[in-house]
């Protein structure tokens, strides 16, 4: 069974400030299905055409954001296809008109000057709708096989902090003079800067202590992996209490949604996806072996059975239409603004969510 937040508990522990507006996003299917890779109702497809059509559908349905994960090789099963994030993000920016486009980035794969220039380019293509999601890597072979190396967990965050300290001012259009352990940048300015806002938004993933310190100091939005309400509330409280300059930190949550007319039907679908996911046991074993054992994300996902990536159904968004809407409202009262969602089969369930859950949430939060 999926552990869901208790709305009574949510009201008792809600933040004293006004809850943020609710934003709904979708994970792009850059490496295929999120719950099970061998699903007859959703054959494996990580193509550009499929992702383009999915994001255009999401925008038309009223979704606010899309997250395009970055991998050079498929993290689940290397022989399978993997869409490249940054070229896809640029193309999506040219085809859409409203939806926010978030491209993930692993700092070791791009020099910060080059990355900042790419980010400003997509910022212009999208007319101010672009964001980066800093992820300090967890898939060991992706870096090791490229000859880049895979430093220890905390060292990756030290590198990522310096990397972001170069990217952030360059995205602002500032002239940068930086001398550090990894980068020396002299009298560097990128033009054109963004005419829509100071710079593209910065999301940060990861839940370790170095990740929390980094997002409190330098991020705009913290992405939390899907997990029970009490755990999410504790994470928000911890990072919200840290010293910070600039605007208040905002929060996002990853979650896999199974919404049906009844809770029993939703649970039956969850069991169906568990059975399909069991067929991927050998693939998942390789993925676990390739994952840094110091990754907090991996530990989070081992807490309870779940389907989906980045915590998946661990957030408890499995139930009747009313239950799922109430649980989203509870997370929102605790401080979650952006819900980055997964489904399977994706397009059909995304449309169901837009038709059944979005109006219910709107009525609940006013």
- Give pLDDT tens digits along the chain (366 positions): 444 444 333 333 333 368 899 999 999 999 989 899 999 999 999 999 999 999 999 999 999 999 999 998 888 788 889 999 999 999 999 999 999 999 999 999 999 999 999 999 999 999 999 999 999 877 888 888 889 988 899 999 999 999 999 999 999 999 999 999 999 999 999 999 999 999 999 999 999 999 999 999 999 999 999 999 999 999 999 999 999 998 999 999 999 999 999 999 999 999 999 999 999 988 877 777 667 666 666 666 667 789 999 999 999 999 999 999 999 999 999 999 999 999 999 999 999 999 999 999 999 998
CA distance 174 to 168: 9
Domains held by the chain: number: 1
**Cβ(360)–Cβ(327) below 8 Å:** no
In a domain, 2, yes or no: no
Burial of 243 (0-12, 13-18, 19+ CB in 10 A): exposed
In a domain, 176, yes or no: yes
Task: Tell me the residue range of the domain where 304 lies.
Answer: 7-365
**Cβ(343)–Cβ(311) below 8 Å:** no
In a domain, 1, yes or no: no
Q: Cβ atoms within 10 A of the Cβ of 70, count?
A: 23
Identify any residues that bridge with 23 across adjacent strands, giving them in sequence order: 338
Q: Is the peptide bond preceding residue 241 cis, with omega within 30 degrees of 0?
A: no
- State in Å, rounded, how far the first CA of the chain is from the last one: 30
**Cβ(46)–Cβ(31) below 8 Å:** yes
**Cβ(343)–Cβ(349) below 8 Å:** yes
In a domain, 255, yes or no: yes
Q: Is the peptide bond preceding residue 192 cis, with omega within 30 degrees of 0?
A: yes
In a domain, 146, yes or no: yes
What pLDDT is recorded for position 12?
33
| Size of the chain in residues | 366
- Which pTM value belongs to this model? 0.92
CATH number at residue 219: 3.20.20.30
In a domain, 128, yes or no: yes
């Amino acid at each position: 069974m999926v552990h869901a937040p208790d709305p009574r508990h949510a009201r008792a522990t809600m933040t004293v400030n006004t809850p943020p507006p609710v934003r709904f996003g979708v994970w792009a299917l850059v490496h295929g299905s999120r719950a099970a890779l061998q699903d007859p109702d959703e054959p494996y497809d990580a193509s550009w055409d499929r992702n383009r059509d999915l994001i255009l559908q999401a925008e038309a349905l009223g979704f606010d954001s899309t997250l395009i994960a970055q991998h050079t090789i498929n993290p689940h099963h290397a022989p399978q296809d993997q869409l490249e994030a940054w070229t896809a993000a640029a193309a999506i920016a040219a085809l859409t008109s409203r939806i926010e486009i978030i491209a993930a980035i692993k700092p070791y794969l791009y020099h910060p000057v080059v990355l900042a220039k790419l980010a400003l380019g997509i910022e212009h293509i999208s007319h101010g709708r672009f964001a980066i999601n800093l992820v300090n890597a967890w898939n060991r072979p992706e870096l090791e096989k490229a000859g880049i190396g895979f430093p220890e967990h905390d060292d990756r965050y030290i590198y990522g902090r310096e990397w972001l300290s170069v990217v952030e001012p360059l995205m602002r259009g500032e002239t940068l003079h930086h001398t550090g352990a990894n980068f020396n940048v002299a009298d560097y300015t990128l033009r054109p800067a963004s005419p829509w806002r100071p710079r593209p938004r910065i999301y940060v993933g990861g839940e370790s202590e170095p990740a929390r310190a980094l997002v409190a100091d330098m991020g705009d939005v913290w992405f939390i992996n899907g997990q029970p309400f009490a755990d999410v509330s504790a994470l928000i409280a911890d990072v919200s209490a840290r010293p910070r300059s600039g605007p208040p930190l905002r929060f996002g949550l990853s979650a896999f949604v199974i919404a049906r007319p009844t809770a029993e039907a939703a649970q039956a679908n969850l069991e169906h996806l568990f059975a399909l996911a069991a067929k991927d046991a050998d693939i998942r074993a390789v993925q676990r072996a390739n994952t840094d054992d110091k990754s907090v994300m991996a530990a989070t996902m081992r807490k309870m059975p779940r389907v989906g990536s980045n915590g998946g159904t661990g957030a408890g968004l499995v139930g009747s239409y009313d239950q799922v809407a109430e649980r989203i409202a509870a997370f929102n009262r605790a401080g979650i603004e952006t819900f980055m969602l997964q489904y399977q089969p994706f397009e059909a369930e995304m449309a169901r969510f837009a038709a059944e859950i979005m109006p219910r949430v709107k009525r609940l939060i006013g």
